[in-house]
Amino acid sequence: MKKTGLIGGVMALGVVLSVSAGEPAKTNATEIVVLATRQWTEAARTPVSVSVVTSQEIEQKGANNLSDVLRDVPGVYVRSLSGGPVAEVSMRGGGENSQGRVLVLLDGHRLNNPDMAAMNWLQIPLNLVDRVEVLRGSQNALYGDFASQGVLNIITKKGAVEPRSELSLIAGSYDTFVARAGTSGSAGKAGPVTYAANAEWETSDGYRDRSGYESYGAGGRLGYDFSSVAGLSMAGSWYRSDYELPGYLTLAEMKDDPTQSHNPGDQADNDYLNAGLDFYSEPHEGIQLDANLGWSGKKTASDVASWFMFSDTELNSFSAQPKATLEGDWAGLAQSTTLGLDAYLDQLDVDRYGDQSRTMKTIAANLEKETLGVYARHQVELTPRWILNGGGRVEQARLSVAADAGGARVLDEAQTHHGTAWEGGLTYAFEKGSKVFARVTSVYRYPFVDEQISYYGYGSDGFYRELDAEKGINTETGLELGSSPAWRAAVTLYRLDMRDEVAWDPIANRNANLDETRRQGAELSGSWKPVERVEVLASYTYTDAAFTTGPNDGNQVPLVPGQLAEGTVKVGLPLDLALDTTVRHASSCRLGGDVAGEGDRLAAHTTLDMMVHYRPVGKAMSAFLGVENVTDENYATLAYKGFSEDGYYPSPGRNWRVGVNRTF
């Protein structure tokens, strides 16, 4: 840690803005992450459970989109609408609408939608990604809304001194084809200007009837270092995705033929634009100032003929995130303080129609969510190995709506939610990257705009003022051992007590606050290399998620499997070949909406994937051939309880992929 006068640093505070710091040099012996503290920090010195997926690992997986990558991260469960790119990511027992409890950041810019729409992961081109940091557990004090059960930080590629270009081609089942190209490098004396640019195209007919999609887009980053202590970077991406919506099947239909569909006209198309401007400076030793401005836009046209819903939506999200970090000695102890502000403005315009030709408008709604939060975090090294940290946040979010139907104003209301969060953690850092930690935090989540506001144009629209924000307390403790290539092991125990969770109430036919719930469990992961060219990876997550008060006391929280397990064996073969074999298991769980625990359960499932890699040492080309769901398991990760029949969304059966990657 840099040494300077802490009081002198505080006096210099009044100056700037943040979220992204310059990245320090990293070595093989030290894993550096930005996610856990909002500044580059050794993972072994943070009181959190973090996983990092690198661009090399992403390339080796041969994944089609980022949701395919995330399902291999310990403690992460991906629930997909029929195996397509639209999927919910769940952590720490997140059930329905878990996309509101896992914050997704792209270079520090929030990607979560203000409404309940699940994320389309095609909006993040895979060859744009340098690394993905996955943080398990609440981080509301540091990041605010959406971060009650985890955070994903997606960091895009930046230019380097040496130029590099890359081309990838993938083909697979269901007429799936993927083409990716990228280049990066630097210009100018000593490389003060860096650049990275990527383009991607993907198309597939999909596993089920009416589940095809096509996407294409490009992105890039341009950076300029004014000096060794100041720099500016600009990043942007554009993506378009057109996809079909196969809808649900009954359990009997899924068992008979999981590829069928009853929705001949359901489809949607999205246009995404993301832009960010980041500035960092170190005006004095021990002072880091950052400025971050962001904008993202999304246009969606959806035709859900099976529900007689036709709509056009446009979302514009703006963000400004100032931050200052001070490091120094005070009272003979190395310390650091981070102070920051997060300001967001989400503007959502929705036009709904009664017909596909869009001649009969049922409602026009303009919704806004204005969020403003300030936070502080302080860390002190009690000894070179004992690290104590604490922090807090004060935040408010104002939701408003103005809606017209039939030429008349039917809604014109607003409400402000207030959120506060605090955290405290203690870490003991062993030698060689091991640690033991304990942590306690408070938790909150604001309702989605369409959880709080009904604006469907059916004559029953309203603003549900009595809907409260979710609140809770999270405690966890963990141990991580081993930093050598031979083995690593980690275990985290956690408990999350929640109240006022928001979910659909089928009796009242609206969203409502649920009774109190508790999630408690354990996350275990490890790796072992018994001999050269053989590696074993394993993870296991146990979650007990249940209601603790009210008429549903003791019932399971819907859509939360009690057990998740994954094991991978990697074996090196002759001729520069390697074989990866992966087994995944998820136990049964309650269907979405079944808080009373009266219906059928979503069945447990176990899948087997196998992939052969060709990776010659020192060569610029690599290739793979993989088969997923080798046993052709008929299963679903998502299903909902209905009034007359339950709805299941089948996952893909046996399918194959082949790909080649070439660097220049």
| pLDDT tens digits, one per residue of 104-140 | 998 888 999 999 888 888 888 888 888 999 999 999 9
> Domain for residue 285, yes or no?
yes
- pLDDT value of position 459: 61
* Per-residue pLDDT band at 9 (split at 50, 70, 90): very low
User: CA-CA distance, 80 to 82, in Å (whole number)?
Assistant: 6
The rounded percent of the chain whose pLDDT value lies above 90 is 71
> Domain for residue 413, yes or no?
yes
Q: What is the DSSP letter of 11?
A: H
What is the pTM for the complete model shown? 0.91
> Domain for residue 487, yes or no?
yes
The rounded percent of the chain whose pLDDT value lies above 70 is 92
DSSP string, 282-301: EEETTEEEEEEEEEEEEEEE
pLDDT at 159 over 90: no
Domain count, the chain: 1
pLDDT at 17 over 50: no
pLDDT at 240 over 60: yes
Q: How far apart are the first and last CA of the chain?
A: 38
The pair phi, psi for residue 99, each rounded to 5°, is: -65, -15
- pLDDT value of position 105: 92
> Domain for residue 1, yes or no?
no
- Token pair in block for residue 630: 């080798």
3-class DSSP state of 43: helix
> Domain for residue 395, yes or no?
yes
Contact 95, 640 (CB under 8 A): no
- pLDDT value of position 35: 58
User: CA-CA distance, 590 to 184, in Å (whole number)?
Assistant: 47
Hey, which bits of 142-229 come out as E strands? Answer: 150-156, 164-172, 176-187, 193-204, 213-227
pLDDT at 257 over 60: yes
CATH of the domain at 34: 2.40.170.20
| Contacts of residue 354, Cβ cutoff 8 Å, sequence gap at least 6 | 308, 310, 360, 361, 362
- Which domain, by its residues, includes 239? 6-663
- Token pair in block for residue 17: 């803005």
User: CA-CA distance, 649 to 153, in Å (whole number)?
Assistant: 28
User: CA-CA distance, 54 to 127, in Å (whole number)?
Assistant: 11
Strand order in the sheet with 129-136: 49-54, 129-136, 150-156, 102-106, 109-110
Sign of CA dihedral 111, 112, 117, 122: positive
> Domain for residue 137, yes or no?
yes
| Contacts of residue 185, Cβ cutoff 8 Å, sequence gap at least 6 | 159, 160, 161, 162, 163, 164, 194, 195
pLDDT at 1 over 70: no
3-class DSSP state of 3: coil
For the ranges 172-176, 441-445, 517-521, 613-617, the lowest mean pLDDT is seen at: 613-617
